[in-house]
Structure 1
Amino acid sequence: MKNTEQQFLNELDTKLWKAADKLRSNMDAANYKHVVLGLIFLKYVSDAFVARQQSIQQQLQDPSHLYYLDPAFYDDDKSYQQEMENELEQRDYYTEENVFWVPKESRWAMLQNKATTPSGEILWQDEKGEDVKMRSVSWLVDNALESIEKHNPKLKTILSRISQYQVEDNRLIELINLFSETSFANPEYQGEKLNLKSKDILGHVYEYFLGQFALAEGKQGGQYYTPKSIVNLIVEMLQPYQGRVYDPAMGSGGFFVSNDKFIENHAKEKHYQAEEQRRQISIYGQESNPTTWKLAAMNMVIRGMDFNFGKQHADSFTNDQHPDLRADFVMANPPFNLKDWWHQSLEKDARWQYGTPPEGNANFAWVQHMLYHLAPTGTMALLLANGSMSSNTSGEGDIRKKLVQEDVVEAMIALPGQLFTNTQIPACIWILSKNKNNGVVFDKTKRNRQGEILFIDARNLGYMKDRVLRDFSEEDTQKIVNTFHNWQYGEDYQDEAGFCFSATLADIEKHDFILTPGRYVGAVAEEDDGIPFAEKMQKLTALLNEQMAEGERLNAQIKANLKGLGYE
């Protein structure tokens, strides 16, 4: 993305958030997000519909196009215009291009126009010819959402109604005007026309608002938001160009969004059409939180991405929505150290191929659930608490040992602290593959990595983006990604003291199957300053003695001063 485009998006983010947050009044961020994100959703589907409608109109007026509507077949301009309007309302024109059908009462222009209608006045006539009267602005928005759901079964039960949050009409009108005044189509910045589509801008705004709400909600908000830099890191490492992608703890769908951007970002480099390549990706997800499940679905719709999130929100362990799925790529950030997850029905479950996970911690339940759903040639990555690399309690050490012995662990990455909005627990990335003697990624073949595990210690990477949160720069991400890929492909990989080490299974057995990278990468070698060790030690010892003597002198002085003040 060009600097001007990035600057435009950054300024737009800040402008919209500040304006929307100012209207929040006394509402909790947890409730307010449904109002704002619901309006962003309505704005997007309406904009996408109008853009398609304009495209259809051009086709209907183009003599060379299949859809051409010849004026010569109509008695007068009125009849022709009437037929044109009828054609523009044909649903098939929209669904064939994966554009959601938006009924008239749900279109943004209608919403903006009718929002200031006094209560009790007639808005329009329904399908039965009966008058529909204005009740409130929140009712108007809910009606728009309900109509979209009615005409698009895929969205059934997904869109949250906003009336329950009791937002004042004047505040809703201000929000509607805020999004109306912002140009999402044909944007310009400092006199330069930008190469950004409405979908790109609205998707970016949606993602930014998700992140801001996660910060505002603290621990609870972090349940549906994984830091973008960590999501991008995992996607770049796995390189999911095509196949089935699965996330059993998907939150708001961040991994799927990043996957979509990955395909677009590498289109020019790999010489393919991004839109065609997207069709080779199938998205499968699951989420137990009903609110977050809806946010994820809306996130996909805003980007025009097809998806299968199961019939309902559900627990991945006790109500698996994709029991027969074998995915080519599995990516997830499940809840760390989840305690309340076990159910009697999980006893002797087929997924526990490496040992039954402890009832008080779901870490290795997630690992095995994901491995169970991984295709024979698939690769997976998940974020877990650092304890998963070394814990031996309740059989966790035995499960980890078997995972290593069965040679499904491919790489371990230790991450720095303060990356997450909702927890200070240090985290790591597990990368696992069922067959390390395979792998063709687009146009490159991986080498045989059987009997090897790559350890990367990234704890010293990153920067503090504010006083609380750490983040990865693009250079940090590329250093980890390039190290992993060079190791996989056998291209210019070298162990680097303090950062990375390629260990054999025998090495790991010597460390009792503990997978903490720090045990393997060693310490960074210090530069030789040319001073012999004995001489250096003598100088340091002399300095230490000098400082200890100075400390004793200062203590005696402090005692004398206290005595002079009457303190013994």
Structure 2
Amino acid sequence: MNVQQLENELWEAADQLRANSRLTAAEYSMPVLGLIFLRHADNRFKAYLPAIEADIPPQMPAAQREALIKLGFQGKAAIYLPEAARFDRIVSLPQGAKVGEIIDAAMDAVEADYPVLSGALPRGYAAFEPDLLAELVKIFDRPAIKAAIGDVFGRIYEYFLNKFAMSGAQEGGEFFTPPSLVRMIVNVIEPDHGLVLDPACGSAGMFVQTGHFIEDVRHAVVNDSVTFHGQEKSDTNTKLARMNLVVHGLDASNIRQGNTFYDQAEHLIGQCDYVMANPPFNVDGVDTKKVEAQVDEAGRLPFGLPGTNAKTGAISNANSLWIQYFYAYLNDTGRAGFVMASSASDAGNKDRDIREQLVKTGHVDVMMAIGNKFFYTRSLPCTLWFFDKGKPQDLQDQVLMIDARNVYHVVSARSHVFTDEQLANLNAIVWLYRGEREKFIALVARYQRQVDDWLASLPVRIEADTAAVRALAAPLQTFASQTTLAELNADQAEDALITQAQLDTFKAELATAQTDAHAADSIAALLTACTQARAAIGQADLSDHAAQVALQATLDALAPQLKATGKLLEARHKQWLKLLDTAEKQLRARSSKAFDGKAARDAKRALLPADSKKNEAPTVRDAALEALKQAAYFIHQVHWLHSRFPQALFEDVPGLCKAVSIDDIATNDYSLTPGRYVGVAAVAKDDEDDFAETLRGIHAELTELNDKAVELAGRIAGNFEELLG
């Protein structure tokens, strides 16, 4: 889905509320999130419904049929929605219906089927203006929102908290955990069994992603594999966590409200197989007297208290409390992964002493530095910490440092993410470090098969693109050969007459475009090379590293050809669209009987990019360019991995990763900041994709600044007009 489009439509809903509701943001925040819950629950319900209905005889009576549908949702990553709560029913209500009361009844119906949600779903929709509520429902029924997938609930939750400036969104250093970071944590610690704890669970995004991992990677049933335990100090957040888990078909019975600093959950200390969290950063003011009793080798603070504020006596920074909590909750083989402020990796005084003790356990597994702009509402760097109490003996004396600050994909001037491939490539470093070479080889094989898939689609897509060019050339050629100056100049003013020279120039440019053999020859050469590359892929043993390396030499040689052909197609599109523009605007082709305007317009649409804001399907042009781009992209992914780990074995890569001994860490005053160890990468001439991301980021930022400048100029002009009266 187009995230920008989703955000635009959600902001339209926010605008409706801000402008037209008599309610305050605090009053309408949870009801709006309740609508999002119903919308997301309906999306997931419909995704599973066809397969469940396929097993039910069509002649089954309606009541029994509904009972079997409900039964079929047991164990699914979705919930059964009673008819009263289905979004289609709410959207189709007639004008004048009591929409608020009907939505309240929908919430009642869901809670009746899922007691764990009792008291969590919002009510009070009757307080909304009926017309406004009906309009909101329609907005949440638009295609982009209906098609939203992934942990969309958490993302939308944060979006509304940010836009409405609700209390609790960012208090005390709390931020919604970006899906990229959640996925990275889950990928590294691999939570697939036992007890999974998040003591700062927010809207439960960590648990949702764990569910995806167990289903998609382990191919197991989530609720049979793990037990989730979550804690949140805010009642609102515990409700949201329960809603998010239930909508994904996950067990929410162990989500509890509590302040983790003071509520120890003692029954979980030393018992958890996995701990993951994104705690609030840099919290001050934790009551020292309330936590000092937790200092105990077998307790939650095995390494002691951090420093206190000399004036207040309170803990000056709670980061080291959180770090110890995550460690203490683990059992003897447990793994933890969590987000932490970058400053915690280097903090001095008592924080440094705590870090020393932690490092000496040998259980610090991986440290990963993350760049700016990953958080949805704040631009700040962070570090991912990973513990592993079950580390093999040969890794006990070292820590893997990864500096991922230069790995990102630009979404906008304010937002960076990891692509699926960037997540996989960073995870591959961890695999190699752990000696899991087979996973690295399997990833490379997957990329090379994806290259094959995209190459397979190229002949048909390029032929369709060429056919679209021919379809545009036909009406232009007919126009050029059959129109006359007299026809074009009929009823025109003297100064608007088209000259013979203009018409002749157009005909000459058209003839040049039609007889250009370069494009056809280049395309033919590429398709031949693609056929050869596909044959090489088909013959290679992709489970063998040496075979992968040999194959990659062929694919690396193909990549420049793919990129060059993409540029060639774009130049061809531009050339023919310019000819059409000349015919219509300069030569007034639409006034000629020889010009087939409809055929020209249809062909033009095929050669223009789809408008994502209008949710348009990809055009012929898009399909051809996408195949070329994706084939080159996956070739680059293998090149990225092979150029850094040529033997499919872990090695230190300057600027990216290094296995650092505990002695080295001691020499560096127990700093756990990756950038201090990995060094600086040499400038790589072949990493133009990374350069392109940098340029994309600069361009996005410039675009945003330009937009703000235009907006500001408009305000200034408006204020100036008011001053002048």
Scaled by the length of structure 1, what TM-score is found?
A: 0.70
* CA deviation after TM superposition for structure 1 residue 183, in Å: 10
* CA deviation after TM superposition for structure 1 residue 413, in Å: 1.5
* CA deviation after TM superposition for structure 1 residue 470, in Å: 3.1
Q: 1:23 to 1:391 in 2, by over 3 A?
A: same
- Tell me whether 1:341 sits opposite 2:286 in the alignment: yes
- Tell me whether 1:37 sits opposite 2:33 in the alignment: yes
Structure 1 CA distance for aligned equivalents of residues 662 and 43 of structure 2: 55
- SS state at 2:276 partner: strand
- SS state at 2:386 partner: strand
Q: Indicate the structure with greater helix content.
A: 2
- Tell me whether 1:153 sits opposite 2:115 in the alignment: yes
Equivalent residue letter for 1:174: E
* CA deviation after TM superposition for structure 1 residue 216, in Å: 2.2
Q: Identity over the aligned pairs, expressed in percent?
A: 27
Partner of residue 376, structure 1: 332
Per-residue CA deviations over 1:229-287 (Å, capped at 9, x if unaligned) read: 111121122222333322111111121222223334436xxxxxx35366313222111
Q: 1:206 to 1:11 in 2, by over 3 A?
A: same
Equivalent residue letter for 1:454: L
Partner of residue 194, structure 1: none
Alignment of 1:103-502 (within 5 A): 105-108=84-87, 111-112=90-91, 116-117=95-96, 136-163=98-125, 166-179=127-140, 201=148, 205-217=152-164, 221=169, 223=174, 225-266=176-217, 274=219, 276=221, 279-310=224-255, 312-321=256-265, 323-324=267-268, 326-342=271-287, 344-349=289-294, 350-358=299-307, 359-393=315-349, 395-437=350-392, 448-489=394-435, 491=437, 492-502=649-659
Q: 1:333 to 1:159 in 2, by over 3 A?
A: same
* CA deviation after TM superposition for structure 1 residue 215, in Å: 4.5
Q: 1:44 to 1:318 in 2, by over 3 A?
A: same
Structure 1's unaligned 5+ residue stretches are 1-6, 64-68, 70-80, 119-135, 185-197, 268-273, 438-446, 528-568
* CA deviation after TM superposition for structure 1 residue 211, in Å: 4.5
Structure 1 CA distance for aligned equivalents of residues 209 and 79 of structure 2: 22
1:515 corresponds to which of 660, 668, 672: 672
* CA deviation after TM superposition for structure 1 residue 354, in Å: 1.3
Superposed CA RMSD: 3.6
- Tell me whether 1:93 sits opposite 2:68 in the alignment: no
* CA deviation after TM superposition for structure 1 residue 486, in Å: 0.8
- SS state at 1:410 partner: strand
Equivalent residue letter for 2:277: A
Structure 2 CA distance for aligned equivalents of residues 15 and 526 of structure 1: 38
Structure 1 CA distance for aligned equivalents of residues 48 and 402 of structure 2: 47
Q: 1:282 to 1:23 in 2, by over 3 A?
A: same
Structure 2 CA distance for aligned equivalents of residues 57 and 520 of structure 1: 57
* CA deviation after TM superposition for structure 1 residue 88, in Å: 3.7
Per-residue CA deviations over 1:497-521 (Å, capped at 9, x if unaligned) read: 2221111111111112122222222
Structure 2 CA distance for aligned equivalents of residues 292 and 398 of structure 1: 34
Equivalent residue letter for 2:210: N
Equivalent residue letter for 2:133: L
Equivalent residue letter for 2:337: A
Structure 2's unaligned 5+ residue stretches are 308-314, 438-648, 685-725
Q: 1:94 to 1:34 in 2, by over 3 A?
A: farther
- State whether residues 142 and 161 of structure 1, in contact with CA within 8 Å, keep that contact through their aligned partners in structure 2: yes
Partner of residue 595, structure 2: none
Equivalent residue letter for 2:137: I
Choose 151-160 or 221-230, whichever is displaced more. Answer: 221-230
- In the alignment of these two chains, the number of paired residues is 454
Structure 2 CA distance for aligned equivalents of residues 96 and 154 of structure 1: 15
- State whether residues 218 and 422 of structure 1, in contact with CA within 8 Å, keep that contact through their aligned partners in structure 2: no
Equivalent residue letter for 1:285: G
* CA deviation after TM superposition for structure 1 residue 337, in Å: 0.7
Q: 1:61 to 1:490 in 2, by over 3 A?
A: closer
